[in-house]
Amino acid sequence: MTAVVDKFIKYVQFDTESDTETGLTPSTPGQMVLAQELVKELEEMGMSNVSLDENGYVMAVLPSNIDKKVATVGFVAHMDTSPDFTGKHVRPQFVENYNGEDIVLNKEQNIVMKVTDFPDLKMYKGQTLITTDGTTLLGADDKAGVAEIMTAMEYLLNHPEIKHGPVHIGFTPDEEIGQGADFFNVEKFGADFAYTLDGGEIGELQFENFNAAYAEVLFKGRNVHPGMAKDKMINSMQIMQEFTAQLPKDEVPEKTENYEGFYHLLGMEGSVENSKLQYIIRDFDMDGYNVRKDKFETICKDLGVRYGEENVILQMKDQYFNMREKVEPVKYIVDIAEQAMKDVGVMPMIVPIRGGTDGSRLSYMGLPCPNIFAGGHNFHGRFEYVPVDSMQKAVDVILKVVDLIAKK
């Protein structure tokens, strides 16, 4: 196995699933355990200024080995995995010389990754894929990014003949729950600009993403024996149904693409007396984003008039915004990444992120931060996979970005 694969397989063994309910940073203890392991490895390989703070943020520096001043570049990845699907006891599997056909992930449970469901598989015929065993997610989002950054730094340290400027790296907790930049110290990090390596198939290069909000709608009712309920019972689940019925049925993730926004129902629970909906709201355009949030407020206000304001409660907060506004003034950093990909034989695909990265918030915190592919597919579920070649190419892109900056 290559160095990047060895590191990736090691990191996915750590259970780092984040959790929206704890109110802590990091939100789960496993993230700190992985952070401590990364600190150990960084110190052993010879990185400078290695640090781990109480919130689980890892930072380190590769000092310049050239005698001229060049920009300080950063690379960032997140350590947590999605709470949408278990990341505990990950058992990665290798599919060598992939034949382009369906992949049996788990024979006992008859879990099969079908080409008809995931046609992107055909792109990787003849390559080696790393998949799940069908019972967990894989963790390529974003332990592939972590492994790629670590591998690139180790390579530069082992090859001092390669000239480079200062390189700063950072690993964050809780990106998957929108909190990855909450305590990121941009001043301490000290880079002029950075790149996240987060998700995305080979060649993806992104500097625009959704504007994002999280919303919970709480519904309260009144329970009365159903035989005597006329004009007395208020069924909170019925109010909840009325809410969902007023949202556009086609503006959901499974029916949208490219620059189309959506409302995504994450969860629901209910009884006659108490019910709750959890949504994320996404739109690339700020005006469209505000319209979507206004839609939630209007529906809740109307239902409140009918059932009582105290019975329909909306809790909504912004999570992050489209980084394009902050990256476009320094578009040359996107051009560097694009040239790096071309130089290592990767065809760049400049596409919008239908999601978010730490980079979107970091860009608004003063650290312009486009996203470079980490190579994975089908994140947050049992059908996640990553081609080995894609991870190696991501390492090559990091090295080439550093090289191009040193030559400026």
- Active site members: 80, 175
- Distance from C-alpha of 195 to C-alpha of 357, rounded to nearest angstrom: 10
211-248: burial string, b at 16+ Cβ within 10 Å, e else:
bbbbbebbbbbeeeeeeeeeeebbbbbbbbebbeeebe
Query: Between β-strands 204-206 and 349-350, what pairing exists: parallel, antiparallel or unpaired?
Result: parallel
Q: What is the residue whose two structure tokens read 């909906």? A: 277
Give SS3 for 339: helix
- Strand partners for 265: 279
Decide: residue 268, CB within 10 A, 0-12 exposed, 13-18 middle, 19+ buried. middle
Say which amino acid occupies 290. Answer: N
Q: Are strands 103-106 and 111-113 parallel, antiparallel or unpaired?
A: antiparallel
Q: What are phi and psi of 52, to 5 degrees?
A: -140, 120
Question: Which residue's structure tokens are 């939100």?
Answer: 27
Calculate the alpha carbon distances from 324 to 243, 262, 269, 337, 374 in Å: 33, 19, 36, 16, 20
Task: Note whether 85 and 382 are within 8 A (CB).
Answer: yes
- Supply φ then ψ for residue 316, to 5 degrees: -135, 140
CB 406 within 8 A of CB 166: no
Q: Which residue has the tokens 């189309």?
A: 260
Burial class (CB in 10 A: 0-12, 13-18, 19+), 10: middle
Would you say the C-alpha torsion 253, 211, 139, 55 has a positive or negative sign?
negative
Burial bucket for residue 395 (CB in 10 Å: 0-12, 13-18, 19+): buried
CA 288/CA 36 separation, integer angstroms: 42
Do the beta carbons of residue 200 and residue 147 sit within 8 Å?
no
Among residues 148, 46, 55, 61, the alpha carbon closest in space to that of 373 is found at: 148
